[in-house]
Amino acid sequence: MGNSVRVVIAEDSVLLREGLVRLLTDRGHEVVAGVGDGEELIRVVAELAGRGELPDVVVADVRMPPTHTDEGVRAAVRLRQGYPGLGVLVLSQYVEEQYATELLAGNSRGVGYLLKDRVADVREFVDAVVRVAGGGTALDPEVVAQLLGRSRRQDVLARLTPREREVLELMAEGRTNSAIAGQLVVSNGAVEKHISNIFLKLGLSQSDADHRRVLAVLTYLDS
């Protein structure tokens, strides 16, 4: 491959797509195709692979037609599954934890997730494309920060016992202590003890007394 990489770009904005093509070709890389939706991306890569011309990397927007929700990242995940040697770099307007986690699941070689603002830093963007094409990883600092935060939140909930998690789930449903006791067939005192333990394990101090129940539920939902 040398210093030059072969790229397929998937971006429904023609202006941005042509801009990415120009950025890459001006720096000696070859853009072998530019497409505007996820299905076309999959079709083009399959055609190239069928001719023995699999690109080194795909650069794809997370949201593309027809629904502008997750077509791009879904296509990226399918391509990673079908072509393990293909690098995939996705671009997003903002961090979407679910999509980033799904993309990074399993083998993290040859994968990247950047915010579109990074494209403004031409050198950083081109370096990321080349790195992912070579089997490396390129993650936006904001992506890393949010995924680490999500991991920490999940670690906090992991401290709860199964019964404490049941109590917290019922709290999230808006149940009172008496209703929780009835649901779990335990005493009100047992429920109060479980809730006290939940507050302690989630780091919700006595000074947060007026809000601890809400904060506990928000921690649960955020995980």
Instruction: Report if residue 148 sits inside a domain.
Output: no
| One domain, residues 35 and 136 | yes
pLDDT digits (tens, 9 = 90+) for 38-89: 999 999 999 999 999 999 999 999 888 888 888 888 899 899 889 988 999 9
Question: Model confidence at 1, in pLDDT bands (50, 70, 90)?
Answer: very low
Instruction: Report if residue 151 sits inside a domain.
Output: no
- Least confident range from 12-16, 72-76, 120-124, 205-209: namely 205-209
117: CATH: 3.40.50.2300
| One domain, residues 108 and 195 | no
Strand order in the sheet with 111-115: 30-35, 6-10, 57-61, 87-92, 111-115, 137-139
Instruction: Report if residue 152 sits inside a domain.
Output: no
- The arithmetic mean of pLDDT across residues 84-111, rounded, is 78
| One domain, residues 163 and 135 | no
| One domain, residues 176 and 131 | no
Length of the chain: 223
| One domain, residues 24 and 133 | yes
Instruction: Report if residue 123 sits inside a domain.
Output: yes
Could you say which of 107, 140, 173 is where a domain stops? 140
| One domain, residues 96 and 184 | no
Could you say which of 85, 113, 140 is where a domain stops? 140
| One domain, residues 55 and 127 | yes
Instruction: Report if residue 145 sits inside a domain.
Output: no
Which two tokens mark 132?
């992912």
| One domain, residues 22 and 130 | yes
| Residue 207 clears pLDDT 60, i.e. is over it | no
What pLDDT, on the 0 to 100 scale, is given for residue 209? 47
pLDDT digits (tens, 9 = 90+) for 143-202: 656 655 555 566 678 888 999 989 988 888 778 899 899 999 999 999 999 999 988 888
| One domain, residues 37 and 80 | yes
Instruction: Report if residue 154 sits inside a domain.
Output: no
Model pTM? 0.66
Instruction: Report if residue 146 sits inside a domain.
Output: no
Q: What is the DSSP string of the chain?
A: -TT--EEEEE-S-HHHHHHHHHHHHTTT-EEEEEESSHHHHHHHHHHHHHTT---SEEEEESS-TTTTSSHHHHHHHHHHHH-TT-EEEEEESS--HHHHHHHHSS--TTEEEEEGGGGGSHHHHHHHHHHHHTT-EEE-HHHHHHHHHHHHHHHHHHTS-HHHHHHHHHHHTT--HHHHHHHHT--HHHHHHHHHHHHHHTT--GGGTTTHHHHHHHHHHH-
| One domain, residues 173 and 73 | no
| One domain, residues 99 and 16 | yes
Could you say which of 111, 140, 169 is where a domain stops? 140
Instruction: Report if residue 153 sits inside a domain.
Output: no
| Residue 134 clears pLDDT 60, i.e. is over it | yes
**Number of structural domains the chain divides into:** 2
Question: Model confidence at 120, in pLDDT bands (50, 70, 90)?
Answer: confident
200: CATH: 1.10.10.10
What pLDDT, on the 0 to 100 scale, is given for residue 91? 92
Residue with the bigger pLDDT between 3 and 201: it is 201
| One domain, residues 32 and 128 | yes
Q: Which domain range does residue 210 map to? A: 159-222
